[in-house]
Amino acid sequence: MKILWLVPVFMGCMTVWAVTDAPTTFPEPDQLPVLKELPDPFLMRDGQRVSTREEWAKRRLEITEMLLHYEYGHLPPAPASVLVEEETVRDAFDGKARVHEFVLRMNGKDGFSMHAGVIVPTAGGPKFPVVVAVNPVYGPHGEATARQVIERGYAFAGFAYHDVDNDKDDRSVGVYPFYPDSDGASLIMWAWGAMRVVDCLAARSDIDMAKIAVTGHSRCGKAALLAGALDERFALVVPHASGAGGSGSFRIQPKGVETLDFITKPDRFHYWFSPRLRAFVKREDRLPFDQHFLKALVAPRALLEVIGLGDLWANPEGTRQTHLAVLPVFEFLDARDKAALWVRDGGHDEEPQDWTALLDFADFAFFDKPLPSGFNAAPAGTVSTNLTWSAPAQSSR
């Protein structure tokens, strides 16, 4: 057994559980203005537009507070300590990797625990970049995916997200009894779990903490994007087919997509989100944000969005439009090349080519390797986003 003592505030990590000293008052939906276009992320609450990086830092906190209030609920605090229990180690992939599986117990013997693991290459190093999945390392991805990641020279980590929240609208189990005052919904709790994996990785000597990617598919893609937006230790954020509440758009809803109404119905997945979000059903144009605001929190770190054109339910067009709408933020922060879109034919599946795209972009973001063709290609028949705002010219003041 091994004890990893951790502190709630990490250098380089945005501590969203302590964003401001005083609570902010947020209007009810009927008090908010109608915004037909994708809202301007640079427009601050006081009506002024961002013109400096210092002002963007303030605006970033405003966006975070707004998203947590209306859409996701709030993170529990990071644990004061983590105990690694029941660790097993074995070789895999013909000796090319070593698999570490364990239980993470937080805040002492009576604290919350979850299953997690990391697979590390046996050649190379001594420190490896790592992909953290919102899923067990041998979950739906399977051994083929883990092998693909390892053979590219990356470690592969994950956790049992159902240990954190069982995806059944049940706050009597999982992490909830340990943080009874938290209003966090399922997505932010799964994001919190991904952050705890990073806490564990920070205590290892074989992981390069400057080169951590986070990814997930579908509902786990929503959680991965949220984790990457809130925790700056994730240097690359790769949501896959994340749709409504992830990379999609609440305003741009072509035929056949999952809408805000449908995803938050009482018999569907309302418990993934703050109950405040459902108040915007049929009033999506009163939302003071859309999902490009969540993506904006990633900048200037790297962001890759992966979508299938046939995955209509996950709103590929809304994903593309909010991607275009976040580019001005990356441009403002001199990181235009750090935001990319990977579009392929096909539906709501994870394919080997999606993981190849992730690893190619990671090589580009982490090691400055040339980016292969195929990124940021606009599908035939798509239209540009018509925005009345753009990246502001930076002031010298």
What's the N-to-C CA distance of the chain in angstroms? Answer: 53
Distance CA(353)–CA(138), nearest Å, equals 19
Cα torsion angle, 143, 144, 149, 151, sign:
positive
The pLDDT value recorded for residue 384 is 66
- Nearest alpha carbon to residue 288 among 24, 52, 54, 18: 24
Break the chain into its structural domains and give their ranges.
32-367
Q: Which CATH class is domain 32-367?
A: alpha beta
Distance CA(378)–CA(218), nearest Å, equals 22
Distance CA(337)–CA(348), nearest Å, equals 27
* DSSP, residue by residue, 140-166: TTHHHHHHHHHHTT-EEEEE-HHHH--
Cβ pair 305, 239 in contact under 8 A: yes
The two tokens of residue 121 are 């290459």
The pLDDT value recorded for residue 230 is 98
- Count other C-beta atoms under 10 Å from residue 258's C-beta: 19
Q: Mean pLDDT in each 10-residue stretch from start to end of the chain (397 residues)?
A: 42 37 80 96 97 97 98 96 93 96 95 97 96 87 89 98 97 97 97 97 97 98 98 98 98 95 97 98 98 98 97 96 96 97 95 97 98 81 77 76
Distance CA(371)–CA(148), nearest Å, equals 18
Query: 126: alpha, beta or left, given left = phi > 0 and alpha = psi -120 to 50?
Result: alpha
The pLDDT value recorded for residue 382 is 63
Query: Residue 381: CA atoms inside 13 Å, Cβ hemisphere, count?
Result: 3
- Count other C-beta atoms under 10 Å from residue 143's C-beta: 12
The pLDDT value recorded for residue 394 is 79
Distance CA(153)–CA(97), nearest Å, equals 10
User: What is the reported pTM?
Assistant: 0.94
In the chain the beta strands, taken as DSSP E runs, fall at 2-5, 81-92, 97-106, 113-121, 128-133, 155-159, 207-217, 236-240, 302-308, 339-344
Measured torsion, CA atoms of residues 34, 37, 41, 43, in degrees rounded to the nearest 10: -50
Distance CA(158)–CA(295), nearest Å, equals 22
The pLDDT value recorded for residue 395 is 67
